[in-house]
Amino acid sequence: MEVRAVAKFQRVSPRKAKLVADLITGHSADEALAILQNIQKGSAPLLAKLVRSAVANAENNYNMTMEDLYVKRATADEGPRMKRIWMRGRGRRDIKLHRMSHLTVVVDTKEGA
């Protein structure tokens, strides 16, 4: 049974968040949390919170245990972009894009459980 948790409009670039999401895909839930605790990336705390949320959803709603869960899928999709003005030299200006992500973590039970 797949259980998911979603965090939308997170202020992290989806390109950078995908690198961390790919690291935890396929690992057990406690291994994924250990990986996210020891990695020096800005999106790691956001994904760790999301993994804990997905595990809590599975435990409370479907009576699953954390030992039987693994991260089936972790994605970082592109959200909206905030556009801000960035002043340049000689009276010009540029547009600075602040990207946002929609993060999703799906946990599932192992086949043997």
Q: What CATH code is carried by the domain that includes residue 61? A: 3.90.470.10
Q: Is the dihedral of CA 65, 3, 7, 35 positive or negative?
A: positive
- pLDDT band at residue 111 using 50, 70 and 90 as cut-offs: confident
The pLDDT tens digits of the residues spanning 74-92 come to 999 999 999 999 999 999 9
Enclosing domain of residue 7: 3-77+103-109
What is the DSSP secondary-structure string of 41-66?
Answer: -TTHHHHHHHHHHHHHHHHHHH---G
Whether residue 15 is contained in a domain is answered as yes
From the list 11, 3, 35, 7, the residue with the least C-alpha distance to 22 is 35
pTM attached to this predicted model: 0.92
Q: Which residues pair with 87 in a beta bridge?
A: 93
Q: Check whether 113 has a pLDDT greater than 60.
A: no
- Number of independent structural domains in the chain: 1
Is residue 96 situated within a structural domain?
no
Query: Which pLDDT score is estimated for 94?
Result: 97
